[in-house]
Amino acid sequence: MNTFKRWAGILVTVFIAAPLVIVVPMSFSSASSLQFPPPGYWLGYYRAYFTDLDWLIPTWNSIVIASATTLLTMLLVVPATFALVRHKFRGKGVADLMMLMPLAVPHIVMAVGYYSYLGDLGLVHSHMGVILAHTCLSVPIAFLVLSANLKGFDRNLERAALSLGASPTKTFIHITLPILRPGLIISALFAFIQSFDETVVAIFISGRDAETLPRKMFDSIRQEADPVIAVISTLLFFLVLVGIATPYFISTLRSRAPTPSRSPAGAH
Amino acid sequence: MTSYLELSNITKAYGNFTALDNVSLSVEKGEFVTFLGPSGSGKTTTLMIVAGFEKASGGSVRVGGRSISELAPHERNIGIVFQNYALFPHKTAAENVYFPLQMRGVNRAKGLRQAEDMLSLVGLKGFGHRHPKELSGGQQQRVALARALVFEPSLLLLDEPLGALDKNLREQMQIEIKRIQRSLGVTTIFVTHDQSEAMSMSDRIVVFDKGRIEQCAAPLDIYHSPQTSFVASFIGESNLIPATVTNAAARIANSPVLGSFDYAGSDNALADGQEVTLLIRPEHIKLSRNPIEDRKSARMTVETIVNYGDNALVIGRAGDIPMRVRVLGADVVIIKEGEECCISWTPDSVFVITR
Ligand SMILES: Nc1ncnc2c1ncn2[C@@H]1O[C@H](COP(=O)(O)OP(=O)(O)OP(=O)(O)O)[C@@H](O)[C@H]1O
Ligand SMILES: [Mg+2]
């Protein structure tokens, strides 16, 4: 049984890791289309990616759209989360449901909806249109992350601050925000990744002007299977790896750093 | 006479539920007052109304003669210590203590020095650089106390501040809190479940039950002259015997079960025929084989003996009235569970409760 479990574990790991094992070498491949195993290795497709405007513009579009989506999402989600977590009001259940709705509805359904709705508004094929659509998709994710954080927030901390003479605004700035900062950062990160990664809605509404990176990759793989796709996948993979590892390294470095400890005097 | 803190006719309703019913209380400057009462009796609610976090449905709160009912919590200059301490996790101990000074515009260098001084006063010299999670429960408690005191509040409110500490640490902190409170002379309200804590720390105890103040008096008065049977049974151990006053002038009452009583221990004004409750504390009852001369005595069947080493609690029944007797450990050898023995007391240990 134990050996079975071990083999099952190894199999699952291999299955999950396989795409990475394939994609990374393929990005250095000298073949003219996606091909595994690569016939030879060179850095040509990296040069191609970093010099070809057909790739750089969608990358830039994705960064702009994801950033704007994150900003807009947080502007909406922070006040909404405070209201929904901390206050009771009529229609709260409905409001809660509406917040989470985009999570339950399939993206393809949302995409068709946005296509006709944003079309009426004349926003199809524009950055603004994609930003608005992505914001709708990011809001529930950011809300879920932030509300979990806010529910765990000890309100006595705010009461303590008020009793110590901090006005409600100062309490928010000096106590609430700093304590919620990790939650805010993670929730913003999720909003960003959601937008950066989103393909279905982008295919429907981004058009040529606001073409995002995932859309460009999708088009490319259908037409020519340009190995630049492997380059981008590899770059994104390492970017995410760095993003995950950095906080971990910082915290281990911090805990290793010698904390100045003085002799305990008068207390136990 | 005007007192420093004055609660008048405070009521608080949550929907149909009355959490506080006409609570009135005067506290002198520098006094240490303890709120004692069972869970849900309204202690925290009262404190939160004083602090401004809850709005009273009626009544007023005055400090130093001025009404503070209209002031927001941050304008009240009241120091609070919460049961879970509520230290700011992202600030060091010194920064926590500096926070109220920061809010009052004291510059950082000066404020942090003041914070360190306050930390030394609570016995945490040299701990200023630690974050709350690097401190023990007792140490966090001290930081919370220092933070609530550093800005010289007009009142100090402590809501079960010792609830989370173990017994030894509790006793140590009781003494510490009392010492610091005396040395600063700050008017203090302390909430607790623990009657021995209330007894040992307070100038006065306020006993709460079901949103009302049952009695407000010095600890020994609460113990020896409880005004209601609730107070008598809540504070210390008690034997409560229903009786009727038969001769008020001669201070004699009659219990259907135990017979005629002298109640020299009370000075309540009573009328003939009045229904009362007689209180005798377990340590005022003597246990013997035979009746003792000059003492009112009754027979008791012993049901349980709980031995504490230096003393023992003998639980039994006199007629249908449950009785508890506290005896010195050496005396307990004369009886066994299931036996009948004689209990006796003097008239001056009988206290009459009219409510
Ligand atoms: N927000 C609220 N809504 C409804 N009822 C409340 C609310 N807050 C308190 N109560 C009720 O008011 C009563 C008094 O509560 P309070 O917290 O003052 O009790 P307490 O004496 O501090 O009890 P404990 O010793 O358990 O802390 C309780 O019955 C409680 O259920
Ligand atoms: Mg309470």
For residue range B311-325, list pLDDT tens digits in order: 888 888 888 888 888
Q: Which residue has the tokens 């007192």?
A: B3
**pLDDT at residue B334 above 80?**
no
3-state secondary structure A183-214: HHHHHHHHHHHHHHHCCHHHHHHCCCCCCCHH
Of B18, B22, B27, B28, nearest to B8 by C-alpha is: B22
pTM for this entry: 0.80
The pLDDT score that the predictor gives to residue A45 is 87
- The rounded distance, in Å, linking the Cα atoms of B353 and B215 is 12
Q: Which member of A157, A165, A262 has the closest CB to residue B74?
A: A165
pLDDT in tens, B231-269: 988 888 888 888 888 877 777 887 877 777 777 766 667
pLDDT in tens, A45-68: 899 889 988 889 999 999 999 999
B251/A contact by beta carbon, under 8 A: no
**pLDDT at residue A263 above 50?**
no
**pLDDT at residue A260 above 60?**
no
Residue of A nearest to B168 (CA): A268
User: How far is the first Cα of chain B from the last one, in angstroms, to the nearest whole number?
Assistant: 29
- The answer to whether the Cβ–Cβ distance between B123 and A178 falls below 8 Å is no
The pLDDT score that the predictor gives to residue A256 is 66
Please give the share of chain B, as a percent, with pLDDT higher than 90: 43
**pLDDT-based confidence at residue A227 (cuts at 50, 70, 90):** confident
Q: How far is CA B157 from the centre of its chain?
A: 14
Neighbours of A5 (CB within 10 A): 9
- The rounded distance, in Å, linking the Cα atoms of B137 and B133 is 9
The pLDDT score that the predictor gives to residue B331 is 66
Q: Let me know: does B135 contact B101? Beta carbons within 8 Å.
A: no
Structure tokens at A78: 């922070």
Residue of B nearest to A159 (CA): B53
B86/A contact by beta carbon, under 8 A: yes
- The rounded distance, in Å, linking the Cα atoms of B179 and B173 is 10
Taking CA atoms, B322 is separated from A46, B162, B228, B259, B283, in Å, by 91, 33, 19, 15, 15
- The answer to whether the Cβ–Cβ distance between A267 and B53 falls below 8 Å is no
Q: Let me know: does B258 contact B321? Beta carbons within 8 Å.
A: yes
The pLDDT score that the predictor gives to residue B186 is 93
B88/A contact by beta carbon, under 8 A: yes
Please give the share of chain A, as a percent, with pLDDT higher than 90: 38
B89/A contact by beta carbon, under 8 A: yes
**pLDDT-based confidence at residue A268 (cuts at 50, 70, 90):** very low
- The rounded distance, in Å, linking the Cα atoms of B139 and B173 is 10
Residue type, position A120, single letter = D
In a domain, A148, yes or no: yes
Structure tokens at B113: 């020095």
**pLDDT-based confidence at residue A265 (cuts at 50, 70, 90):** very low
Of A221, A251, A233, nearest to A28 by C-alpha is: A233
pLDDT in tens, B170-213: 888 888 889 989 988 999 999 998 888 898 899 999 999 999 99
CA distance A157 to chain B (A): 5
The pLDDT score that the predictor gives to residue A142 is 94
**pLDDT-based confidence at residue A262 (cuts at 50, 70, 90):** very low
Structure tokens at A261: 């400890």
In a domain, A111, yes or no: yes
In a domain, A211, yes or no: yes
Nearest CA to ligand 1 atom 20: B40
- Give B308-315 contacts, CB < 8 A, sequence gap 24+: B313/B237, B313/B282, B314/B287
Structure tokens at A28: 């250095």
Atom of ligand 1 nearest to the CA of B41: 21
Residue of A nearest to B84 (CA): A156
- The rounded distance, in Å, linking the Cα atoms of B13 and B16 is 7
**pLDDT at residue B214 above 70?**
yes
The pLDDT score that the predictor gives to residue B265 is 60
In a domain, A17, yes or no: no
Of B2, B3, B5, B1, nearest to B153 by C-alpha is: B5
**pLDDT at residue B122 above 50?**
yes
Mark which residues 124-183 of B lie under 8 Å from A by CB. Answer: 124-127, 129, 136, 138-139, 142, 147-148, 151, 169
Q: At what angle do helices A53-86 and A92-104 cross, to 10 degrees?
A: 150
In a domain, A162, yes or no: yes
B66-67 and B58-63: which strand pairing? Answer: antiparallel
More confident residue, B67 or A208: B67
In a domain, A7, yes or no: no
Q: What CATH superfamily classification does B5-229 receive?
A: P-loop containing nucleotide triphosphate hydrolases (3.40.50.300)
pLDDT in tens, B21-67: 999 999 999 999 999 999 999 999 999 999 999 999 999 999 988 89
Residues of B within 8 A of A88 (CB-CB) are none
**pLDDT at residue A159 above 80?**
yes
Q: Which domain holds residue A188?
A: 63-216
Q: Let me know: does B77 contact B151? Beta carbons within 8 Å.
A: yes
What is the total count of domains within chain A? 1
ipTM: 0.82
Domain CATH for A180: 1.10.3720.10
**pLDDT-based confidence at residue A1 (cuts at 50, 70, 90):** low
CA distance A162 to chain B (A): 5
Q: Which residue has the tokens 């060179």?
A: A42
Residues of B within 8 A of A265 (CB-CB) are 125-126
In a domain, A87, yes or no: yes
- The rounded distance, in Å, linking the Cα atoms of B279 and B263 is 10
Mean pLDDT of B153-168: 87
The pLDDT score that the predictor gives to residue B305 is 86
Q: Which of A244-248, B75-79, B250-254, B268-272 has the highest mean pLDDT?
A: B75-79
More confident residue, B291 or A134: A134
The pLDDT score that the predictor gives to residue A236 is 87
**pLDDT at residue A143 above 90?**
yes
> What number does CATH give the domain B237-353?
2.40.50.140
Among A21-35, A169-183, B73-87, the least confident range: A21-35
Structure tokens at A147: 């509300």
The pLDDT score that the predictor gives to residue B289 is 82
- Average of per-residue pLDDT values in chain A: 86
- The rounded distance, in Å, linking the Cα atoms of B80 and A13 is 54
* 3-class secondary-structure state, position B194: coil
Mean pLDDT of A110-128: 88
Q: How far is CA B158 from the centre of its chain?
A: 13
Residue of B nearest to A173 (CA): B103
Q: Let me know: does B297 contact B291? Beta carbons within 8 Å.
A: yes
What's the length of chain B?
A: 355
Q: Which member of B86, B127, B139 has the closest CB to residue A160?
A: B86
CA distance A186 to chain B (A): 18
Q: DSSP character for A175?
A: I
The pLDDT score that the predictor gives to residue A257 is 57
Domain range list for chain B:
5-229, 237-353
Provide residues with CB under 6 Å of ligand 1: B 14, 17, 19, 37, 39-45, 193
Sequence-separated (6 or more) residues with CB below 8 Å from residue B312: B305, B306, B326, B327, B328, B329, B331, B332
H or E segment and range at residue B233 = helix B229-234
**pLDDT-based confidence at residue A264 (cuts at 50, 70, 90):** very low
What does the buried/exposed string (b/e) look like for A188-208 if buried means 16 or more CB atoms within 10 Å of the residue's CB? bebbbbbbbebbbbbbbbbee
User: How far is the first Cα of chain A from the last one, in angstroms, to the nearest whole number?
Assistant: 51
In a domain, A120, yes or no: yes
